[in-house]
């Protein structure tokens, strides 16, 4: 959200933000950043669709097999990212902001992108 847009907030919007939790405010900011970057919010993505999503890595898990799994949230939803054949990626750590692209699938009731392309933002 630009500085000019922040200044234009209505009194009701300012009051709502004042009463919101830190987690809710962070989720809103992540969703705004994703829209500004041209990424699609996870809440609007359909299964089996090629998507580009911007968000924050919330957890990283290395399995006993040869794959790496990370969870990404964009403020509207969460997706699991799985890199098969990789046990580690130095730049994929919790708190890191990334843009990922790939085909969104449903695996055992959760949203997953296998072997996504990614760009590290910070």
Q: pTM of the prediction?
A: 0.73
CA distances from 118 to 8, 18, 21, 68, 106 (A): 34, 34, 30, 14, 20
Name the DSSP class of 46.
P
Residue 28's closest CA among 48, 114, 63, 36? 36
Quick one: pLDDT at residue 30? 67
- Closest residue by Cα to residue 73 from 18, 21, 110, 115: 110
> Considering the domain 3-120, what is its CATH architecture?
Beta Barrel (2.40)
Give the C-alpha separation, 68 to 83, whole Å: 5
User: pLDDT digit string (tens) for 68-112?
Assistant: 999 999 888 999 999 998 888 999 999 999 999 999 999 899 999
């Amino acid at each position: 959200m630009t500085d000019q847009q922040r200044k234009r907030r209505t009194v009701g919007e300012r009051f709502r933000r004042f009463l919101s939790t830190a987690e809710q405010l962070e989720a809103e900011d992540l969703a705004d950043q994703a829209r500004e970057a041209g990424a699609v919010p996870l809440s609007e993505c359909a299964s089996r669709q090629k998507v580009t999503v911007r968000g924050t890595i919330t957890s990283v898990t290395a399995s006993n097999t040869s794959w790496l799994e990370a969870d990404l949230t964009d403020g509207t939803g969460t997706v699991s990212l799985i890199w098969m054949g990789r046990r580690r990626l130095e730049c994929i750590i919790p708190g890191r902001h990334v843009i990922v692209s790939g085909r969104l699938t449903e695996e055992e009731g959760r949203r997953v992108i296998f072997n996504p392309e990614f760009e590290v933002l910070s």
